Homo-oligomer: A and B are copies of this chain.
Amino acid sequence: MFNRFLKTVVTTSMMFTALLAMNTSAATLSNAEQADMKALKQTALNSDLSYELVESLTTEVGPRMMGTPGDAKAITWAVAKMKTLGFDKVWTEEISNTQWLRGEVSAEITAPYPQKVVAIALGGSIGTGEQGITAPVVHFNTLDELKAAKVGSLDGKIAFVSYKMERHIAGKGYGPAVGTRVRGAVIAAEKGALALIMRSVGTDNNRIAHTGIMRYKEGVKKIPAAALSNPDADMLVNQLKRGKEVSFYLKLTASIQDKQIVKSANVIGEITGSESPEQIVAIGAHLDSWDVGTGALDDGIGVAMVMAAAHHISKLENRPKRTIRVILFAAEEIGLLGAKKYMQLHKNDMDNHVLGAEWDFGVGKIYEMTPRVGDNSLTAVRDLAKYLAPLGVALSPKNNARASSDMGLLTDAGMPSMRLSPDGNHYFDYHHTENDTLDKVIPEDLQQNTAVYTLFAYFSAQSGVDFRK
Protein backbone atom coordinates (compact mmCIF):
# COMPACT_ATOMS: atom_id res chain seq x y z
CA MET A 1 0.00 0.00 0.00
CA PHE A 2 2.71 2.36 0.96
CA ASN A 3 4.70 1.41 -2.11
CA ARG A 4 1.71 1.81 -4.32
CA PHE A 5 1.01 5.23 -2.87
CA LEU A 6 4.59 6.30 -3.47
CA LYS A 7 4.45 5.10 -7.03
CA THR A 8 1.38 7.21 -7.66
CA VAL A 9 3.03 10.27 -6.20
CA VAL A 10 6.14 9.81 -8.28
CA THR A 11 4.17 9.29 -11.44
CA THR A 12 2.06 12.38 -10.84
CA SER A 13 5.14 14.42 -10.05
CA MET A 14 6.85 13.24 -13.21
CA MET A 15 3.84 14.08 -15.29
CA PHE A 16 3.71 17.53 -13.74
CA THR A 17 7.38 18.08 -14.56
CA ALA A 18 6.82 16.96 -18.12
CA LEU A 19 3.87 19.29 -18.42
CA LEU A 20 5.90 22.19 -17.06
CA ALA A 21 8.64 21.42 -19.57
CA MET A 22 6.19 21.48 -22.44
CA ASN A 23 4.70 24.74 -21.26
CA THR A 24 8.08 26.42 -20.88
CA SER A 25 9.19 25.18 -24.25
CA ALA A 26 6.06 26.44 -25.90
CA ALA A 27 6.46 29.80 -24.24
CA THR A 28 9.91 30.52 -25.68
CA LEU A 29 10.01 29.03 -29.14
CA SER A 30 7.31 28.09 -31.66
CA ASN A 31 7.21 24.68 -33.27
CA ALA A 32 8.84 26.04 -36.40
CA GLU A 33 11.59 27.63 -34.32
CA GLN A 34 12.11 24.40 -32.45
CA ALA A 35 12.54 22.68 -35.79
CA ASP A 36 15.12 25.32 -36.70
CA MET A 37 17.00 24.56 -33.47
CA LYS A 38 17.04 20.87 -34.34
CA ALA A 39 18.25 21.52 -37.86
CA LEU A 40 20.92 23.99 -36.69
CA LYS A 41 22.23 21.48 -34.20
CA GLN A 42 22.61 18.83 -36.90
CA THR A 43 24.22 21.29 -39.26
CA ALA A 44 26.78 22.42 -36.68
CA LEU A 45 27.57 18.89 -35.52
CA ASN A 46 28.16 17.73 -39.09
CA SER A 47 29.96 20.78 -40.40
CA ASP A 48 33.74 21.13 -40.69
CA LEU A 49 33.44 24.91 -41.05
CA SER A 50 34.78 25.91 -37.65
CA TYR A 51 37.76 23.56 -38.03
CA GLU A 52 38.40 24.87 -41.54
CA LEU A 53 38.36 28.44 -40.21
CA VAL A 54 40.90 27.78 -37.45
CA GLU A 55 43.01 25.76 -39.88
CA SER A 56 42.94 28.67 -42.29
CA LEU A 57 43.72 31.29 -39.63
CA THR A 58 46.65 29.33 -38.18
CA THR A 59 48.06 28.20 -41.54
CA GLU A 60 47.64 31.37 -43.60
CA VAL A 61 48.06 33.98 -40.86
CA GLY A 62 49.70 32.38 -37.82
CA PRO A 63 50.85 34.51 -34.87
CA ARG A 64 49.08 37.89 -34.71
CA MET A 65 50.21 40.04 -31.82
CA MET A 66 49.07 43.65 -32.12
CA GLY A 67 51.43 45.67 -34.25
CA THR A 68 52.94 42.71 -36.08
CA PRO A 69 52.36 41.93 -39.77
CA GLY A 70 50.34 38.89 -38.63
CA ASP A 71 47.83 41.12 -36.85
CA ALA A 72 47.21 43.16 -40.00
CA LYS A 73 46.84 39.95 -41.99
CA ALA A 74 44.37 38.58 -39.45
CA ILE A 75 42.16 41.65 -39.83
CA THR A 76 42.17 41.31 -43.62
CA TRP A 77 41.51 37.59 -43.24
CA ALA A 78 38.54 38.08 -40.90
CA VAL A 79 36.89 40.76 -43.01
CA ALA A 80 37.23 38.63 -46.14
CA LYS A 81 35.96 35.47 -44.42
CA MET A 82 32.93 37.25 -42.97
CA LYS A 83 32.02 38.53 -46.41
CA THR A 84 32.47 35.09 -47.96
CA LEU A 85 30.37 33.55 -45.19
CA GLY A 86 27.41 35.78 -46.03
CA PHE A 87 27.44 38.25 -43.13
CA ASP A 88 25.06 41.15 -43.80
CA LYS A 89 27.38 43.85 -42.47
CA VAL A 90 31.11 43.79 -41.81
CA TRP A 91 33.18 46.65 -40.37
CA THR A 92 36.29 47.39 -38.36
CA GLU A 93 36.92 49.68 -35.39
CA GLU A 94 40.45 50.96 -35.28
CA ILE A 95 42.68 51.19 -32.21
CA SER A 96 46.26 52.32 -31.74
CA ASN A 97 48.95 51.73 -29.17
CA THR A 98 52.68 51.91 -28.62
CA GLN A 99 54.62 48.88 -29.75
CA TRP A 100 56.42 46.27 -27.68
CA LEU A 101 59.05 44.08 -29.32
CA ARG A 102 59.95 40.70 -27.89
CA GLY A 103 63.48 40.46 -29.24
CA GLU A 104 65.62 37.50 -28.29
CA VAL A 105 66.21 35.69 -25.02
CA SER A 106 69.22 33.92 -23.63
CA ALA A 107 69.20 32.42 -20.14
CA GLU A 108 71.59 30.23 -18.25
CA ILE A 109 72.42 29.00 -14.78
CA THR A 110 76.07 29.99 -14.55
CA ALA A 111 76.92 28.46 -11.15
CA PRO A 112 77.23 26.10 -9.39
CA TYR A 113 76.29 23.79 -12.29
CA PRO A 114 76.18 25.73 -15.57
CA GLN A 115 73.23 24.81 -17.74
CA LYS A 116 71.27 26.63 -20.42
CA VAL A 117 67.61 27.07 -19.63
CA VAL A 118 64.51 27.74 -21.72
CA ALA A 119 63.01 31.13 -20.91
CA ILE A 120 60.74 33.72 -22.49
CA ALA A 121 60.31 37.46 -21.97
CA LEU A 122 57.06 38.45 -20.29
CA GLY A 123 54.96 40.66 -22.53
CA GLY A 124 55.84 44.32 -21.99
CA SER A 125 59.17 43.66 -20.29
CA ILE A 126 62.12 45.94 -20.89
CA GLY A 127 65.38 44.42 -22.12
CA THR A 128 68.51 43.74 -20.10
CA GLY A 129 70.95 45.52 -22.37
CA GLU A 130 73.43 43.72 -24.61
CA GLN A 131 75.58 42.55 -21.69
CA GLY A 132 72.71 40.82 -19.97
CA ILE A 133 72.47 40.52 -16.21
CA THR A 134 74.45 38.00 -14.21
CA ALA A 135 73.59 37.88 -10.52
CA PRO A 136 72.90 35.54 -7.60
CA VAL A 137 69.40 34.10 -7.40
CA VAL A 138 67.13 34.56 -4.38
CA HIS A 139 64.37 31.97 -4.27
CA PHE A 140 60.76 32.57 -3.22
CA ASN A 141 58.16 29.82 -3.22
CA THR A 142 55.29 32.28 -3.68
CA LEU A 143 54.57 35.89 -4.53
CA ASP A 144 53.60 36.43 -0.90
CA GLU A 145 57.09 35.37 0.17
CA LEU A 146 58.53 37.89 -2.28
CA LYS A 147 56.21 40.58 -0.90
CA ALA A 148 57.47 39.79 2.60
CA ALA A 149 61.13 40.37 1.64
CA LYS A 150 62.72 43.48 3.09
CA VAL A 151 63.38 46.52 0.92
CA GLY A 152 67.01 46.38 -0.08
CA SER A 153 67.30 42.65 0.56
CA LEU A 154 67.39 41.95 -3.18
CA ASP A 155 69.91 44.63 -4.11
CA GLY A 156 72.11 43.22 -6.85
CA LYS A 157 70.10 39.97 -6.98
CA ILE A 158 67.71 38.22 -9.33
CA ALA A 159 64.39 37.29 -7.69
CA PHE A 160 63.01 33.86 -8.60
CA VAL A 161 59.44 32.81 -7.77
CA SER A 162 58.88 29.08 -8.24
CA TYR A 163 55.14 28.82 -7.49
CA LYS A 164 53.55 26.07 -9.59
CA MET A 165 50.12 26.45 -11.13
CA GLU A 166 47.57 23.72 -10.42
CA ARG A 167 45.44 21.98 -13.04
CA HIS A 168 41.68 22.55 -12.75
CA ILE A 169 38.70 22.05 -15.07
CA ALA A 170 37.63 25.68 -14.64
CA GLY A 171 41.17 27.04 -14.67
CA LYS A 172 41.06 27.98 -11.00
CA GLY A 173 44.82 27.49 -10.72
CA TYR A 174 45.41 30.53 -12.94
CA GLY A 175 44.41 33.21 -10.45
CA PRO A 176 46.87 32.24 -7.70
CA ALA A 177 49.68 31.87 -10.28
CA VAL A 178 49.25 34.85 -12.56
CA GLY A 179 49.87 37.54 -9.94
CA THR A 180 53.60 36.93 -10.10
CA ARG A 181 53.54 37.42 -13.84
CA VAL A 182 51.55 40.64 -13.75
CA ARG A 183 52.92 42.31 -10.61
CA GLY A 184 56.07 40.34 -9.74
CA ALA A 185 58.53 42.68 -11.45
CA VAL A 186 57.21 45.71 -9.57
CA ILE A 187 57.38 43.95 -6.22
CA ALA A 188 60.85 42.54 -6.91
CA ALA A 189 62.05 45.99 -8.02
CA GLU A 190 60.72 47.54 -4.81
CA LYS A 191 63.00 45.17 -2.88
CA GLY A 192 65.98 46.10 -5.04
CA ALA A 193 66.10 43.19 -7.50
CA LEU A 194 67.85 43.56 -10.86
CA ALA A 195 65.43 41.21 -12.62
CA LEU A 196 62.54 38.85 -12.01
CA ILE A 197 62.49 35.26 -13.18
CA MET A 198 59.55 33.00 -12.48
CA ARG A 199 58.21 29.54 -13.17
CA SER A 200 55.89 29.67 -16.18
CA VAL A 201 52.19 30.02 -15.51
CA GLY A 202 51.36 26.68 -17.07
CA THR A 203 50.34 23.14 -16.18
CA ASP A 204 52.55 21.27 -18.65
CA ASN A 205 56.02 19.89 -18.21
CA ASN A 206 57.35 20.82 -21.62
CA ARG A 207 60.58 22.65 -22.21
CA ILE A 208 58.55 25.58 -23.55
CA ALA A 209 58.04 28.74 -21.48
CA HIS A 210 54.77 30.68 -21.16
CA THR A 211 54.60 34.40 -21.87
CA GLY A 212 51.77 36.80 -20.98
CA ILE A 213 51.38 40.43 -20.07
CA MET A 214 53.23 42.04 -17.15
CA ARG A 215 52.90 45.57 -15.78
CA TYR A 216 55.19 48.28 -14.46
CA LYS A 217 54.17 50.90 -11.92
CA GLU A 218 54.75 54.62 -12.08
CA GLY A 219 57.59 55.51 -9.73
CA VAL A 220 58.99 51.99 -9.43
CA LYS A 221 62.13 51.11 -11.39
CA LYS A 222 61.44 48.95 -14.43
CA ILE A 223 63.33 45.66 -14.32
CA PRO A 224 63.37 42.87 -16.92
CA ALA A 225 61.07 39.89 -16.34
CA ALA A 226 61.09 36.42 -17.83
CA ALA A 227 59.43 33.05 -17.30
CA LEU A 228 61.27 29.71 -17.28
CA SER A 229 59.76 26.50 -18.62
CA ASN A 230 58.52 24.17 -15.89
CA PRO A 231 61.40 21.65 -16.31
CA ASP A 232 63.90 24.50 -16.11
CA ALA A 233 62.24 25.94 -13.01
CA ASP A 234 62.53 22.44 -11.50
CA MET A 235 66.23 22.36 -12.32
CA LEU A 236 66.84 25.77 -10.82
CA VAL A 237 65.01 24.67 -7.65
CA ASN A 238 67.10 21.50 -7.56
CA GLN A 239 70.34 23.47 -7.87
CA LEU A 240 69.19 25.85 -5.13
CA LYS A 241 68.39 22.88 -2.83
CA ARG A 242 72.09 22.07 -2.71
CA GLY A 243 72.70 25.14 -0.57
CA LYS A 244 75.38 26.75 -2.74
CA GLU A 245 75.05 30.21 -4.25
CA VAL A 246 73.28 29.94 -7.59
CA SER A 247 74.12 32.47 -10.24
CA PHE A 248 71.96 33.23 -13.25
CA TYR A 249 72.51 34.99 -16.56
CA LEU A 250 69.57 36.63 -18.32
CA LYS A 251 69.67 38.53 -21.56
CA LEU A 252 66.53 39.97 -23.11
CA THR A 253 66.60 42.22 -26.13
CA ALA A 254 62.94 43.13 -25.63
CA SER A 255 62.02 46.78 -25.94
CA ILE A 256 59.13 49.16 -25.46
CA GLN A 257 58.93 51.39 -28.52
CA ASP A 258 57.41 54.45 -26.87
CA LYS A 259 57.34 56.47 -30.03
CA GLN A 260 56.19 53.83 -32.45
CA ILE A 261 52.42 53.89 -32.72
CA VAL A 262 50.89 50.79 -34.26
CA LYS A 263 47.30 50.15 -35.25
CA SER A 264 44.87 47.29 -35.01
CA ALA A 265 41.12 46.87 -35.20
CA ASN A 266 38.10 45.01 -33.92
CA VAL A 267 36.46 43.13 -36.77
CA ILE A 268 32.69 42.99 -36.46
CA GLY A 269 30.14 41.23 -38.59
CA GLU A 270 26.39 40.96 -38.32
CA ILE A 271 23.55 38.75 -39.34
CA THR A 272 20.98 41.53 -39.30
CA GLY A 273 17.75 40.88 -37.41
CA SER A 274 14.51 40.70 -39.41
CA GLU A 275 12.20 42.27 -36.81
CA SER A 276 14.33 44.09 -34.23
CA PRO A 277 17.62 44.69 -36.00
CA GLU A 278 18.68 47.22 -33.35
CA GLN A 279 18.63 44.49 -30.70
CA ILE A 280 21.92 42.68 -30.52
CA VAL A 281 22.92 39.20 -29.43
CA ALA A 282 26.69 39.47 -29.15
CA ILE A 283 29.01 36.49 -29.57
CA GLY A 284 32.70 37.16 -29.40
CA ALA A 285 36.31 36.03 -29.30
CA HIS A 286 39.59 37.86 -29.71
CA LEU A 287 41.38 37.98 -33.02
CA ASP A 288 44.86 38.77 -31.73
CA SER A 289 47.20 36.17 -30.24
CA TRP A 290 50.60 36.17 -28.63
CA ASP A 291 53.50 36.22 -31.07
CA VAL A 292 54.92 32.81 -30.29
CA GLY A 293 52.33 30.18 -31.25
CA THR A 294 49.79 30.30 -34.05
CA GLY A 295 47.03 31.04 -31.54
CA ALA A 296 44.94 28.01 -32.43
CA LEU A 297 43.43 27.74 -28.95
CA ASP A 298 43.93 31.33 -27.84
CA ASP A 299 41.73 32.36 -29.46
CA GLY A 300 41.56 30.78 -32.91
CA ILE A 301 38.90 28.25 -31.98
CA GLY A 302 36.85 31.06 -30.43
CA VAL A 303 37.04 33.08 -33.63
CA ALA A 304 36.12 29.99 -35.63
CA MET A 305 33.21 29.03 -33.36
CA VAL A 306 31.42 32.36 -33.38
CA MET A 307 31.94 32.95 -37.11
CA ALA A 308 30.69 29.46 -37.93
CA ALA A 309 27.70 29.80 -35.58
CA ALA A 310 26.56 33.02 -37.29
CA HIS A 311 27.10 31.49 -40.70
CA HIS A 312 25.00 28.42 -39.89
CA ILE A 313 22.18 30.68 -38.72
CA SER A 314 22.51 32.82 -41.85
CA LYS A 315 21.68 29.77 -43.96
CA LEU A 316 18.19 29.48 -42.47
CA GLU A 317 15.33 30.55 -44.72
CA ASN A 318 14.75 33.67 -42.61
CA ARG A 319 16.97 35.89 -40.54
CA PRO A 320 16.24 35.64 -36.79
CA LYS A 321 14.28 38.54 -35.29
CA ARG A 322 17.25 40.14 -33.57
CA THR A 323 20.71 40.87 -34.93
CA ILE A 324 23.53 38.43 -34.21
CA ARG A 325 26.73 40.43 -33.87
CA VAL A 326 30.06 38.59 -34.08
CA ILE A 327 32.75 40.68 -32.40
CA LEU A 328 36.38 39.73 -32.96
CA PHE A 329 38.18 41.92 -30.46
CA ALA A 330 41.61 43.43 -31.10
CA ALA A 331 44.57 43.37 -28.72
CA GLU A 332 42.99 41.35 -25.91
CA GLU A 333 46.34 39.92 -24.85
CA ILE A 334 48.00 43.22 -24.20
CA GLY A 335 45.13 44.66 -22.20
CA LEU A 336 41.63 44.40 -23.70
CA LEU A 337 42.33 47.38 -25.98
CA GLY A 338 39.73 46.35 -28.52
CA ALA A 339 37.10 45.79 -25.85
CA LYS A 340 37.80 49.21 -24.34
CA LYS A 341 37.38 50.77 -27.78
CA TYR A 342 34.12 48.90 -28.28
CA MET A 343 32.82 50.27 -25.00
CA GLN A 344 33.79 53.81 -26.02
CA LEU A 345 32.01 53.52 -29.33
CA HIS A 346 28.91 51.65 -28.17
CA LYS A 347 28.36 52.83 -24.61
CA ASN A 348 25.14 54.58 -25.58
CA ASP A 349 23.90 51.44 -27.25
CA MET A 350 24.39 49.05 -24.34
CA ASP A 351 20.64 48.74 -23.70
CA ASN A 352 20.32 47.15 -27.11
CA HIS A 353 22.82 44.44 -26.24
CA VAL A 354 20.27 41.88 -25.12
CA LEU A 355 22.65 39.01 -24.32
CA GLY A 356 26.32 38.19 -24.89
CA ALA A 357 28.88 35.43 -24.59
CA GLU A 358 32.58 35.11 -25.47
CA TRP A 359 34.86 32.13 -25.97
CA ASP A 360 38.34 32.70 -24.65
CA PHE A 361 39.18 29.71 -22.54
CA GLY A 362 39.69 25.99 -22.75
CA VAL A 363 40.15 23.41 -25.41
CA GLY A 364 37.62 20.70 -24.47
CA LYS A 365 33.85 20.50 -24.54
CA ILE A 366 31.50 23.02 -22.96
CA TYR A 367 30.07 21.35 -19.86
CA GLU A 368 28.27 24.18 -18.07
CA MET A 369 26.20 27.26 -18.79
CA THR A 370 25.92 30.04 -16.21
CA PRO A 371 23.67 33.03 -16.86
CA ARG A 372 23.56 36.54 -15.54
CA VAL A 373 20.03 37.60 -16.44
CA GLY A 374 16.94 39.05 -14.85
CA ASP A 375 15.03 36.60 -12.66
CA ASN A 376 12.01 36.54 -14.96
CA SER A 377 14.05 35.34 -17.87
CA LEU A 378 15.46 32.36 -15.98
CA THR A 379 12.52 30.36 -17.31
CA ALA A 380 13.74 30.98 -20.83
CA VAL A 381 17.30 30.13 -19.82
CA ARG A 382 16.08 26.82 -18.44
CA ASP A 383 14.37 26.21 -21.73
CA LEU A 384 17.58 26.94 -23.62
CA ALA A 385 19.36 24.57 -21.25
CA LYS A 386 17.11 21.75 -22.39
CA TYR A 387 18.39 22.13 -25.92
CA LEU A 388 21.97 22.13 -24.71
CA ALA A 389 21.67 19.25 -22.23
CA PRO A 390 22.00 16.55 -24.92
CA LEU A 391 25.30 18.21 -25.87
CA GLY A 392 26.55 17.65 -22.32
CA VAL A 393 25.96 21.19 -21.06
CA ALA A 394 24.52 21.48 -17.55
CA LEU A 395 22.79 24.60 -16.29
CA SER A 396 24.55 26.10 -13.30
CA PRO A 397 22.26 27.01 -10.37
CA LYS A 398 24.09 30.34 -10.16
CA ASN A 399 22.95 33.52 -11.92
CA ASN A 400 26.02 35.70 -11.53
CA ALA A 401 28.27 34.99 -14.53
CA ARG A 402 30.51 37.59 -16.06
CA ALA A 403 31.16 37.03 -19.77
CA SER A 404 34.72 35.94 -20.60
CA SER A 405 37.64 38.37 -21.06
CA ASP A 406 36.75 41.23 -23.48
CA MET A 407 33.03 40.86 -23.11
CA GLY A 408 33.36 41.09 -19.35
CA LEU A 409 33.45 44.85 -19.90
CA LEU A 410 30.02 44.64 -21.52
CA THR A 411 28.72 42.60 -18.57
CA ASP A 412 30.06 45.31 -16.27
CA ALA A 413 28.12 47.86 -18.32
CA GLY A 414 24.90 45.97 -17.73
CA MET A 415 24.66 43.56 -20.66
CA PRO A 416 22.94 40.30 -19.68
CA SER A 417 25.57 37.61 -20.14
CA MET A 418 26.12 33.93 -20.50
CA ARG A 419 29.20 31.97 -19.57
CA LEU A 420 29.57 28.77 -21.58
CA SER A 421 32.31 26.96 -19.66
CA PRO A 422 34.50 24.41 -21.44
CA ASP A 423 36.80 21.83 -19.93
CA GLY A 424 39.94 23.80 -19.15
CA ASN A 425 42.07 20.98 -17.82
CA HIS A 426 44.53 21.14 -20.69
CA TYR A 427 44.27 24.78 -21.72
CA PHE A 428 47.19 25.91 -19.59
CA ASP A 429 49.44 23.23 -21.04
CA TYR A 430 49.62 25.42 -24.14
CA HIS A 431 48.44 28.89 -23.08
CA HIS A 432 50.69 31.72 -24.31
CA THR A 433 53.32 29.38 -25.73
CA GLU A 434 54.69 28.51 -29.13
CA ASN A 435 52.96 25.17 -28.53
CA ASP A 436 49.53 26.75 -29.12
CA THR A 437 49.10 25.21 -32.56
CA LEU A 438 46.42 23.56 -34.70
CA ASP A 439 47.19 19.99 -33.64
CA LYS A 440 45.90 20.81 -30.12
CA VAL A 441 42.40 21.46 -31.50
CA ILE A 442 40.04 18.52 -31.02
CA PRO A 443 37.79 18.60 -34.11
CA GLU A 444 34.81 16.81 -32.50
CA ASP A 445 34.88 19.11 -29.49
CA LEU A 446 35.06 22.13 -31.75
CA GLN A 447 32.00 20.89 -33.68
CA GLN A 448 30.09 20.37 -30.47
CA ASN A 449 31.05 23.75 -29.05
CA THR A 450 30.09 25.40 -32.32
CA ALA A 451 26.70 23.71 -32.00
CA VAL A 452 26.33 25.20 -28.49
CA TYR A 453 27.13 28.72 -29.73
CA THR A 454 24.83 28.27 -32.71
CA LEU A 455 21.89 27.21 -30.55
CA PHE A 456 22.64 29.88 -27.97
CA ALA A 457 22.75 32.64 -30.58
CA TYR A 458 19.68 31.54 -32.50
CA PHE A 459 17.59 30.99 -29.37
CA SER A 460 18.50 34.39 -27.97
CA ALA A 461 18.00 36.21 -31.27
CA GLN A 462 14.78 34.52 -32.26
CA SER A 463 12.96 34.53 -28.92
CA GLY A 464 11.54 37.80 -27.71
CA VAL A 465 12.89 37.31 -24.21
CA ASP A 466 14.08 40.43 -22.42
CA PHE A 467 17.05 39.01 -20.51
CA ARG A 468 17.26 42.13 -18.35
CA LYS A 469 13.94 41.32 -16.70
Which residues of A are at the interface with B, using a C-beta cutoff of 8 A? Answer: 55, 58-63, 113, 115, 118, 205-208, 230-231, 234-235, 238-239, 293-294, 433-435, 437-440
Q: A63-B115, A205-B439, A238-B438 are in contact. List 19 more A-B contacts (CB 8 A).
A: A59-B235, A60-B113, A61-B113, A62-B113, A62-B115, A205-B440, A206-B206, A206-B208, A207-B293, A207-B433, A207-B435, A208-B208, A230-B439, A231-B435, A231-B437, A231-B439, A234-B437, A234-B438, A235-B294
Known contacts A231-B439, A434-B118, A238 near B59 by CB under 8 Å? yes
Query: How far is it, in angstroms, between the C-alpha of A205 and the C-alpha of B296 when the chains are bound?
Result: 14
Query: How far is it, in angstroms, between the C-alpha of A113 and the C-alpha of B433 when the chains are bound?
Result: 20
Would B294 and A438 count as touching, CB distance under 8 A? no
Query: How far is it, in angstroms, between the C-alpha of A234 and the C-alpha of B59 when the chains are bound?
Result: 9
Would A59 and B113 count as touching, CB distance under 8 A? yes
Known contacts A230-B439, A439-B234, A434 near B207 by CB under 8 Å? yes
Would A115 and B205 count as touching, CB distance under 8 A? no
Would A239 and B205 count as touching, CB distance under 8 A? no
Query: How far is it, in angstroms, between the C-alpha of A63 and the C-alpha of B117 when the chains are bound?
Result: 11
Residues of B within 8 A of A294 (CB): 115, 235
With both chains docked as a complex, state the minimum distance between the C-beta of A232 and any C-beta of chain B, in angstroms: 8
Residues of B within 8 A of A113 (CB): 59-62
| Nearest neighbor of A59 in chain B, beta-carbon distance | B238
With both chains docked as a complex, state the minimum distance between the C-beta of A162 and any C-beta of chain B, in angstroms: 14
The 8 Å CB contact of A239, one of B59, B63, B437, is B59
Residues of B within 8 A of A293 (CB): 207
Query: How far is it, in angstroms, between the C-alpha of A294 and the C-alpha of B232 when the chains are bound?
Result: 10
With both chains docked as a complex, state the minimum distance between the C-beta of A298 and any C-beta of chain B, in angstroms: 14
Query: How far is it, in angstroms, between the C-alpha of A434 and the C-alpha of B235 when the chains are bound?
Result: 13
| Nearest neighbor of A113 in chain B, beta-carbon distance | B60
A and B contact pairs by CB, cutoff 8 A, 27 listed: A55-B238, A58-B235, A59-B113, A59-B235, A60-B113, A61-B113, A62-B113, A62-B115, A63-B115, A205-B437, A205-B440, A206-B208, A206-B435, A207-B208, A207-B433, A207-B434, A207-B435, A208-B208, A230-B439, A231-B435, A231-B437, A231-B438, A231-B439, A234-B438, A235-B294, A235-B437, A235-B438
| Nearest neighbor of A434 in chain B, beta-carbon distance | B207
Query: How far is it, in angstroms, between the C-alpha of A235 and the C-alpha of B60 when the chains are bound?
Result: 9
Query: How far is it, in angstroms, between the C-alpha of A437 and the C-alpha of B293 when the chains are bound?
Result: 22
Residues of B within 8 A of A235 (CB): 58-59, 294, 437-438
Query: How far is it, in angstroms, between the C-alpha of A250 and the C-alpha of B63 when the chains are bound?
Result: 20
With both chains docked as a complex, state the minimum distance between the C-beta of A313 and any C-beta of chain B, in angstroms: 28
Query: How far is it, in angstroms, between the C-alpha of A61 and the C-alpha of B293 when the chains are bound?
Result: 31
Query: How far is it, in angstroms, between the C-alpha of A311 and the C-alpha of B190 when the chains are bound?
Result: 51
| Nearest neighbor of A231 in chain B, beta-carbon distance | B437
Query: How far is it, in angstroms, between the C-alpha of A438 and the C-alpha of B115 when the chains are bound?
Result: 14
Query: How far is it, in angstroms, between the C-alpha of A371 and the C-alpha of B62 when the chains are bound?
Result: 52
Residues of B within 8 A of A434 (CB): 118, 207
Query: How far is it, in angstroms, between the C-alpha of A438 and the C-alpha of B439 when the chains are bound?
Result: 26
Known contacts A55-B238, A235-B294, A294-B115, A437 near B207 by CB under 8 Å? yes
Q: Identify which of A60, A207, A294 gathers the most chain B CB atoms within 10 Å of its CB.
A: A207
With both chains docked as a complex, state the minimum distance between the C-beta of A136 and any C-beta of chain B, in angstroms: 18
Query: How far is it, in angstroms, between the C-alpha of A439 and the C-alpha of B433 when the chains are bound?
Result: 19
Query: How far is it, in angstroms, between the C-alpha of A238 and the C-alpha of B235 when the chains are bound?
Result: 37
With both chains docked as a complex, state the minimum distance between the C-beta of A335 and any C-beta of chain B, in angstroms: 25
With both chains docked as a complex, state the minimum distance between the C-beta of A244 and any C-beta of chain B, in angstroms: 11
